[in-house]
């Protein structure tokens, strides 16, 4: 009976359409509080943050006061929220109503203090910075303000101290992808087109992504593929397996990028740094495959390649060694010297053998210097076309062997320089 009598006494002549003050000059002070319960989702593409918060309001209603002695010392009562005046405080960043549960009652004390406590699923617009994905930290704001009343009618304040609000994780569920760092609060006034000022209370929710899942599923497989690309240079070029191995790695990385594209946030604001890393790794794989193809062509098509000019040898084996931090330049110089000595020795041996059997053309031996073969041998040389053919074949083989030996040394030096370039590019 006491609750019914009190409820009927309070709401019998109550007018919920007007602000509950006896003097219209009195400002209604609304104290608000916020506690983050869970981070439901972060939509990087649409720039939407979905959170679940516990929201509390507190204000004084001058028409909801009574003497507890008249109602069996009753100091608090719950009244329907539709029956009393409630401040029109909304969140400016709202983009969707969400699935917030409806709480139909508020608590009222005998001093006229009204407490409105309710959970809210907040879907707000937030400017997300994904450049450091997956090691990113997001700062999203929730701005509470009265949509109609000016600051002289409805003023906002903070229920608790800012330090208590900042590090309050008592109700936060810390098992998802995002971790709550802190919640900052700030009061400010703003005006629209030089009109009356409005009061607003901002809460900055700072959250950080846990990067372990993305490190295991994205970064480590990419690093393993790049390491295998470097290990592939230990395969001999003449085995024929290096090109197929590189193509397999490139194909595997392409499939990996297709899978990753569904995980990476797609937004027009900026490109994540990890996306740039994947593109660079893909480019390095393509460069590695191209260089492998060129090296295999040098090894297997050496008889079709022209001689390497001397200035190219000096540029790569003397100048480029300084840039590539190869200090043992004597090894390259010794290899080049040995190649020249072998070529000259082979040429001298072939010339000596030719002089032993006679000139390739007997008529030239008779005209140059008078030191030609005897007439009898000249007659034999002229009369045996088989010997002329053998001499020509020996000369051609000698020239081919000299070119082959010189090209083999140059190709070996190119392979060493190419290996160093691949390591530096990675």
Q: pLDDT class for 241, splitting at 50, 70, 90? A: confident
Q: pLDDT class for 262, splitting at 50, 70, 90? A: confident
Give the C-alpha separation, 148 to 168, whole Å: 31
Q: Which residues contact 17 (CB under 8 A, 6 or more apart)?
A: 85
What mean pLDDT is predicted for residues 201-222?
Answer: 91
User: Contact, 154 vs 30, CB < 8 A?
Assistant: yes
Q: Is residue 156 over pLDDT 90?
A: yes
What integer pLDDT is reported at residue 193 of this predicted model? Answer: 72
What integer pLDDT is reported at residue 379 of this predicted model? Answer: 39
What mean pLDDT is predicted for residues 151-169?
Answer: 91
Mean pLDDT of the chain: 79
Q: Is residue 142 over pLDDT 50?
A: yes
What integer pLDDT is reported at residue 361 of this predicted model? Answer: 45
Instruction: Give, in words, the CATH class of 2-209.
Output: mainly beta
> Three-state DSSP class for 57?
strand
More confident: 133 or 346? 133
Closest CA to 182 of 221, 157, 208, 214: 208
More confident: 33 or 309? 33
**54-65: per-residue pLDDT in tens?**
999 999 999 999
Q: Is residue 169 over pLDDT 90?
A: no
User: Contact, 131 vs 273, CB < 8 A?
Assistant: yes
What integer pLDDT is reported at residue 274 of this predicted model? Answer: 87
What integer pLDDT is reported at residue 49 of this predicted model? Answer: 92
Sign of CA dihedral 122, 124, 130, 136: negative
285-294, 335-344, 356-365, 414-423: which range is least confident on average?
A: 356-365
Domain ranges of the chain: 2-209, 213-301
What mean pLDDT is predicted for residues 18-32?
Answer: 92
More confident: 322 or 83? 83
Give the C-alpha separation, 75 to 66, whole Å: 9
More confident: 321 or 188? 188
Q: pLDDT class for 377, splitting at 50, 70, 90? A: very low
Q: Which residues contact 188 (CB under 8 A, 6 or more apart)?
A: 200, 202
Q: Is residue 356 over pLDDT 90?
A: no
What integer pLDDT is reported at residue 389 of this predicted model? Answer: 59
Q: pLDDT class for 400, splitting at 50, 70, 90? A: low
What mean pLDDT is predicted for residues 15-38?
Answer: 92
**305-340: per-residue pLDDT in tens?**
567 677 777 777 777 777 766 665 555 555 555 555
Q: Is the peptide bond before 134 cis (omega within 30 degrees of 0)?
A: yes
What integer pLDDT is reported at residue 80 of this predicted model? Answer: 93
Q: Is residue 417 over pLDDT 60?
A: no
What integer pLDDT is reported at residue 338 of this predicted model? Answer: 53
């Amino acid at each position: 009976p006491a609750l019914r009598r009190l409820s009927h006494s309070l709401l019998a002549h109550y007018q919920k359409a007007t602000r509950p003050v006896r003097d219209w000059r009195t400002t209604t002070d609304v104290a608000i509080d916020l506690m983050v319960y869970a981070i439901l989702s972060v939509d990087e593409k649409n720039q939407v943050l979905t959170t679940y918060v516990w929201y509390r309001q507190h204000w004084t209603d001058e028409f909801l006061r009574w003497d507890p002695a008249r109602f069996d010392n009753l100091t608090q009562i719950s009244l329907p929220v539709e029956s009393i005046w409630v401040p029109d405080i909304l969140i400016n960043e709202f983009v969707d109503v969400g699935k917030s549960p409806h709480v139909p009652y508020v608590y009222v004390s005998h001093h006229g203090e009204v407490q409105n406590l309710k959970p809210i699923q907040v879907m707000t617009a937030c400017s997300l910075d994904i450049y450091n994905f997956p090691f990113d930290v997001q700062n999203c704001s929730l701005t509470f303000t009265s949509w109609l009343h000016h600051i002289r009618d409805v003023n906002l304040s903070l229920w608790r101290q800012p330090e208590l609000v900042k590090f309050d994780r008592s109700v936060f569920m810390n098992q998802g992808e995002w971790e709550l760092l802190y919640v900052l609060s700030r009061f400010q006034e703003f005006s629209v087109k030089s009109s009356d000022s409005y009061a607003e209370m901002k809460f900055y929710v700072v959250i950080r992504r846990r990067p372990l899942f993305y490190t295991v599923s994205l970064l480590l497989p990419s690093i393993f593929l790049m390491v295998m690309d470097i290990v592939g240079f230990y395969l001999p070029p003449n085995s024929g397996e290096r090109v197929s191995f590189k193509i397999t790695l490139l194909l595997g990385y392409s499939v990996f990028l297709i899978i990753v594209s569904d995980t990476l946030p797609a937004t027009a604001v900026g490109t994540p740094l990890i996306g740039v890393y994947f593109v660079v790794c893909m480019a390095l794989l393509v460069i590695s495959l191209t260089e492998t193809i060129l090296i295999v062509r040098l090894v297997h098509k050496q008889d079709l390649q022209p001689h390497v000019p001397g200035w190219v040898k000096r540029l790569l084996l003397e100048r480029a060694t300084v840039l590539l931090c190869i200090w043992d330049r004597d090894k390259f110089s010794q290899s080049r010297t040995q190649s020249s000595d072998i070529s000259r020795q082979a040429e001298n041996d072939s010339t000596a053998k030719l002089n032993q059997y006679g000139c390739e053309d007997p008529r030239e031996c008779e005209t140059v210097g008078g030191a030609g073969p005897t007439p009898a041998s000249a007659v034999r040389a002229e009369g045996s076309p088989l010997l002329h053919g053998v001499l020509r074949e020996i000369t051609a083989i000698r020239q081919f062997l000299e070119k082959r030996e010189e090209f083999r040394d140059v190709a070996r030096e190119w392979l060493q320089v190419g290996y160093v370039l691949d390591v530096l590019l990675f």
